[in-house]
Amino acid sequence: MRGMLSVRPVDGPLAPAWWRTVPAVVVGFSGTMFSLAMSPAGNAAPDDHLAMLLTLLGFGIALGGPVALIWRHRFPVAFAVTAAVVPLAVPVGNTLAFITLSALVGRRRGSGVWAVAGLTAVTSTVVVVRDALARPVGASILQTTLAPGDAPVEVGAPTIAIIAVLGWGLSVGLGLAVRGARETRHAREAVSTERAASSQLGDELARRAERERIAREVHDVLGHRLSLLSLHAAALEANAGGDARLRASASLVRESAAGAMGDLRSLLEVLRQPAGDQPDLPLTALPGVVQESFGSGQLLASSIFVADADQADPTLSRAVYRIVQEVLTNARKHAPGQRVELSVTGGPPTGIAIDVRNPLTSDAARATPGERRGLAGIAERAELLGGRVQYGLDDGSRMFRVRVELPWRARGQVA
């Protein structure tokens, strides 16, 4: 059925459900054995060698044909053509032909399908006509059904046509019903998928619009204030005169304001980008984060060692980057001028551990709950990656300690 005749799969899964296959096998075996037993070969004398050969062939088909129906969805055309032609030579009836035709119509479409359906209509009609003309009466299913006794009965052309069309029509109709149900289910699944994708796109657009609005607000408010701070610091530095300490402090404020402006621009860039298109912050750049955060001269003892840092997933790298930045900022805010101890260690086997300790000052001890928003943000970042955060007093209530543990996630690994 190639060339001019097309045969193509219908939409949806082609494999039939098991509860459809079991009845098909049972009906196929029963119908084939019944047709064989009622055929002239099945009623022939034991010395009729040709009849015995046909009976043996029919018995083999009755056993193997129904079992082969398990794979009817893989080779529907070949099965349907074979099942349509074989009854012309071996008296096995039309049961397998109708079952395979129904499977073909339900799983394939195109002109080739209807060519096979036409072939089945012709061969099944020949089988019905041959059965109607069979002798003796016991060797004809139609005569046995229509005649109460052993006397031959004339089976008219209308009866033959009705019987032939009835079997063929039922098989085609069942196949069309199965095809329609499969295509409807596939269409519903496709619509559901499209709706989910559309909803996700709408949510992403809404989030992006909100990020744009936040970015504009932050730029307008903080950008203006930082620009004024940098301007006043530059003026103070220029008018410091011979006061070196005042000039140095003003210079530090100006540089810090310039650095804050750079951080603000980086933050706004992140806000304006889609969630999956944010710039990488590799773990190999972590020492630079430490240097930037403590460029004001605060004492810091740091130990940073991460195995296979370049293989870390960008999501993990970004989280470590931001957490280290936040804990060092908190330490600088609440323990100015004090020695801070930082440790970042780990790798693929153990994950990443971030440990920060700084002396507990009187200002930090009096901190209000609202000033711990940085720790809450750190905890949220860790929880999103399946990690955990511990913080509190250590070393006899003289030190404040923050420890963050994050599971390893390699680049490209699915969460």
List the CATH number of the domain containing 335.
3.30.565.10
CB 264 within 8 A of CB 226: yes
Q: What are phi and psi of 267, to 5 degrees?
A: -65, -45
Count, in order, helices (H) and strands (E) of the chain: 13, 7
**Same domain, yes or no: 190 and 70:** yes
What pLDDT was estimated at residue 148? Answer: 62
Whether 19 is in a domain gets the answer yes
Assess whether pLDDT exceeds 60 at residue 6: yes
Calculate what percentage of the chain has a pLDDT beyond 90: 25
Assess whether pLDDT exceeds 80 at residue 28: yes
Element (H, E) at 20: helix 18-38
**Considering only CA atoms, which of 251, 257, 356 is closest in space to residue 300?**
356
Output 104 or 414, whichever has higher pLDDT. Answer: 104
Tell me the CA distances in angstroms from 272 to 161, 208, 217, 276, 380, one per residue in order.
74, 7, 12, 12, 21
**Same domain, yes or no: 30 and 164:** yes
**What DSSP state is assigned to residue 285?**
G
Q: Which two tokens stand for residue 409?
A: 């996630």
The predicted-structure confidence for 315-347, as pLDDT tens digits, reads as follows 898 889 889 888 888 887 778 778 889 999 999
Highest mean pLDDT among 176-190, 225-239, 268-282: 176-190
Stated pTM of the model? 0.51
Domain edge (last residue) among 180, 196, 212:
196
Please, which pLDDT band fits residue 85 given cuts at 50, 70 and 90? very high
What pLDDT was estimated at residue 274? Answer: 60
What pLDDT was estimated at residue 271? Answer: 66
Domain count, the chain: 2
Strands (DSSP E) found in 4-161: 8-9, 108-109
Mean pLDDT (whole number) for 43-60? 85
Please, which pLDDT band fits residue 142 given cuts at 50, 70 and 90? confident
Q: How many CB atoms lie within 10 A of CB 242?
A: 6
Mean pLDDT (whole number) for 160-173? 91
CB 12 within 8 A of CB 186: yes
Whether 27 is in a domain gets the answer yes
Domain edge (last residue) among 138, 171, 196:
196
Nearest-angstrom CA–CA distance, 41 and 409: 73
Output 106 or 333, whichever has higher pLDDT. Answer: 106
What pLDDT was estimated at residue 294? Answer: 59
Assess whether pLDDT exceeds 80 at residue 78: yes
What is the Cα Rg of the chain in Å? Answer: 42
Tell me the CA distances in angstroms from 243 to 231, 237, 254, 360, one per residue in order.
19, 10, 17, 33
Domain edge (last residue) among 139, 166, 196:
196
Mean pLDDT (whole number) for 60-67? 89
Q: Which two tokens stand for residue 88?
A: 């012309």
What pLDDT was estimated at residue 1? Answer: 42
The burial of 156, by beta-carbon neighbours within 10 Å (0-12 exposed, 13-18 middle, 19 or more buried), is given as exposed
Domain extent at residue 97: 8-196
Q: Which two tokens stand for residue 263?
A: 């951080």
What pLDDT was estimated at residue 369? Answer: 46
**Same domain, yes or no: 187 and 287:** no
Assess whether pLDDT exceeds 60 at residue 276: no
Output 193 or 262, whichever has higher pLDDT. Answer: 193
The SS3 call for residue 152 is: coil
CB 339 within 8 A of CB 356: no
Q: Which amino acid is at 263?
A: D
CB 267 within 8 A of CB 274: no
Mean pLDDT (whole number) for 211-222? 75
Whether 3 is in a domain gets the answer no
Whether 120 is in a domain gets the answer yes
Whether 189 is in a domain gets the answer yes
Assess whether pLDDT exceeds 60 at residue 368: no
Mean pLDDT (whole number) for 72-85? 90
What pLDDT was estimated at residue 2? Answer: 46
Whether 99 is in a domain gets the answer yes
Assess whether pLDDT exceeds 90 at residue 230: no
Output 400 or 209, whichever has higher pLDDT. Answer: 400
Output 356 or 254, whichever has higher pLDDT. Answer: 356
Calculate what percentage of the chain has a pLDDT beyond 70: 86
Please, which pLDDT band fits residue 207 given cuts at 50, 70 and 90? confident
What pLDDT was estimated at residue 177? Answer: 92
